[in-house]
Chain A
């Protein structure tokens, strides 16, 4: 009944017939490749730290749990990842670890991040979308980058004296190489790229060291990665084809929120994807086929932990779009098939989902565009309805966008481990975790998003408030206990149903360019949660206020100096309350607010083919952490050298 009313209301609201993917999206943020490279990131996954509205947090700063625009709680993340339009699935039990993608940051052209419900191609996501656009070669090209870094505070020569202290984090050397070829004439364009990556990072923060030692020995490499990626595209007339394939092996520590700690794993990822577009007159037909394999295998460890997990996800979709001068209509279908292999006997080892969607956009009046999407998806047991209606108003120098969305989440598409545990995956049982669970039920999300933007020749300001209302969420509320013999935390699982909770947030994004060579930029995010105590408790683990203030100062020709202030307010982790007491003050359930100062210097040479960069991070040497049991970052430096030949 309710669904019927929703659809009816939707159709009434659709008075002018409007569905389609639109450039207008109140939750869309674009990060330029230059901004990413100047931030001194050491791993691809760190991109989310440049998006305050994604509220990224981490135990060890290798993998991140994020919550795009409050769409999901950190434990149930599951944002979709795209690379050059290809769907790439790196998600394992709700952890989208971008470090499994063999892509160096010098290959990034720009990144689009969506933190409001979005239909991108045939995929509807109410958990956020990250779309990485890589550099497409236009001629022969080569890019090579090497990077290394270290935190200060090592023992140095004192390791051989009674003043010795543990080593601290060490990064690299990392190497990435990409070779490209591009060709274009008046009839056709073609491009092909080959990429390779090798990375090795050590983390020996004293807080985590004892856990690592107990798990895998003293010289534990938290991240060791090797991989390659190949892509090709061709366009002639109205036909375009694109292929993407990648292979990567990653040895790292897999942090599973359910058990409150990380464990060593060996992860393999395989991706193969095809996209085809056919344009004729006003019609565009797009077909796609994507395959992603992710495995979580045993890595040498003292506890003999073996997750024994491999999942293959295949998606196939067909979309047809009709473009009229006054409106645009789009309709399509997508099939998704997820199959699993494990030594654990599973009741059912696959999930099949079918989606139908339609979208429309219209521009009945100058400067106004209305758009809407409707998506239906169904698995074996449940069906879900997703709707969104939006409007944008563009004038010279100002844009107003608003979107209202309703979406249903079915247990089969829940990215967390619980649905597999219901089917017999006994990994948590084997880890000795006590489970108090409740069957997963469908949940709902109402989302309102808006954005007001103004732009002048020198400045840009946007204010984007949002409201989320979650209903019937399943959250893990099990408290963590402190295990003294190896300074570890261990969590028992207690799943509870949260009837409702609301989240109000706002993102402020501003830039000012007082001089052609100088730019101030800031991005700030604030949020407030209300509703069920467990819901509020889950959101208290994220800062109410966080953001950064940055100055891009091209001091001289081909020389950039970039000071940056980052800040986030205190967070409260109620689930660590008992553990904090048990550790006798060694750990606290409160993570203090931080204010960090970074400084990056960058010099180009050889007609900007050579780039050297030095990034000093947390220059005031403040103790900064995201998590009660987490890695404490101190003053560190990252050096990189890049050769780009194009």
Chain B
């Protein structure tokens, strides 16, 4: 039932674009690509605070128009030093779908929902190499604001709420700031993806 409770924010989030449909920007699927790179930091308040000291990380993302919105894929790398626990290297790989809103010419908002896997690798010498890894399913809600600096370049500010589906549920909040670069996709790539 906890999952059902989790559905409410997702539904609310999904309905948001309907209210702002007039602002939506629609392009042909895979017509352009946006590569993004940003620095991220984990907000305080996670259940892991007493056990790990998380260091800033980075997020590498790829985005393209995808039926009624934008499709997203990416990798979020962030590590932590253990507080009486093994050090942790981790990556979150995800796929997502977002809604591109353009209220003003140079400003874009991209609310998105994503699902992915949080891969963890613990520096735990007590266990053999294969047993030091964990991977968990997670989903996240993302709010992103972008300022177009140039036809191809933009500056982005992002807030992410992530819920990791572990037995003891884990919620994490991240903020990030970064840049994005847009390019037209070559015909062969469009054909490949279609």
Contacts and interface: CB of A to CB of B under 8 A. Distances in A.
Contacts of A326: none
Most A Cβ at <10 Å: residue of B67, B165, B191? B165
B192 A606 contact: yes
A160 B85 contact: yes
A605 interface: yes
Contact of A556 (B2, B67, B124): B67
Interface stretch (B130-138, B144-152, B154-162, B176-184): B130-138
A156 B165 CA distance: 9
Contact of A153 (B134, B165, B192, B194): B165
Instruction: Tell which of B52, B136, B170 has the most Cβ of chain A within 10 Å.
Output: B136
A152 B67 contact: no
Contacts of A156: 118, 120, 134, 136, 164, 166-168, 170
Given A155-B168, A157-B88, A556-B67, A621 B3 contact: yes
A163 B165 CA distance: 14
A614 B73 CA distance: 14
A342 to B, nearest CB: 35
A154 interface: yes
Interface residues of B, number: 34
A157 B170 contact: yes
B33 interface: no
Contact of B193 (A155, A163, A555, A605): A605
Interface in B53-98: 67, 82, 85-86, 88, 95
B116 to A, nearest CB: 10
B135 A150 contact: yes
A152 B131 contact: no
Contact of B134 (A154, A163, A555, A619): A154
A538 B159 CA distance: 57
A637 interface: yes
B43 interface: no
A619 B167 contact: no
Contact of B122 (A160, A555, A605): A160
A598 to B, nearest CB: 13
B22 to A, nearest CB: 22
Nearest to B130: A219
Interface in B10-69: 47-48, 51-52, 67
Contacts of A607: 191
A150 B137 contact: yes
Contact of A157 (B3, B48, B95, B165): B48
Interface residues of A, number: 29
A559 interface: yes
A165 B167 CA distance: 7
B3 A619 contact: yes
A158 interface: yes
A637 B1 CA distance: 18
Interface string A614-646: 100001110000000000000101000000000
Nearest to A151: B137
Contacts of A457: none
A558 interface: yes
Which of A152, A557, A605, A635 has the largest count of B CB atoms less than 10 A from its CB?
A152
Given A219-B131, A559-B67, A606-B192, A158 B168 contact: yes
Contacts of A559: 67
Contacts of B131: 219
Contacts of A150: 135-137
A614 B168 CA distance: 24
Contacts, number: 79
Given A152-B165, A621-B3, A157 B51 contact: yes
A558 B165 contact: no
Nearest to B52: A157
A150 B133 CA distance: 13
B86 A153 contact: no
A324 interface: no
B107 to A, nearest CB: 28
A555 B67 CA distance: 9
A236 interface: no
Given A150-B137, A160-B122, A605 B194 contact: yes
Contact of A160 (B2, B86, B194): B86
A637 B95 CA distance: 14
Contacts of B120: 156-157
Interface string B108-145: 00000001001010101000000100111100000000
Contacts of B85: 157, 160-161
B166 A154 contact: yes
A532 interface: no
Contacts of B118: 156
Contacts of A155: 134, 166-168
Contacts of B47: 158, 163
A559 B120 CA distance: 31
B67 A153 contact: no
Contacts of B164: 156
A557 B193 CA distance: 11
A153 B166 CA distance: 4
Contact of B2 (A165, A606, A614, A621): A621
A159 interface: yes
Contacts of A165: 167-168
B46 to A, nearest CB: 10
Contacts of B67: 555-556, 559
A471 B88 CA distance: 64
Given A156-B168, A555-B67, A621-B2, 17 more contacts: A150-B137, A154-B134, A154-B166, A157-B51, A157-B52, A157-B85, A157-B88, A157-B170, A158-B166, A160-B124, A163-B47, A165-B167, A558-B194, A605-B192, A614-B115, A619-B3, A635-B3
The 9 closest A-B pairs by CB, nearest first: A156-B166, A152-B165, A160-B85, A165-B167, A153-B167, A163-B168, A156-B136, A621-B3, A606-B192
Interface of A: 150, 152-161, 163, 165, 168, 219, 555-559, 605-607, 614, 619-621, 635, 637
22 contacts: A152-B137, A153-B167, A154-B166, A156-B118, A156-B167, A157-B51, A157-B85, A157-B170, A158-B168, A160-B51, A160-B82, A160-B85, A160-B86, A161-B51, A163-B168, A168-B167, A555-B67, A605-B194, A606-B193, A607-B191, A635-B3, A635-B165
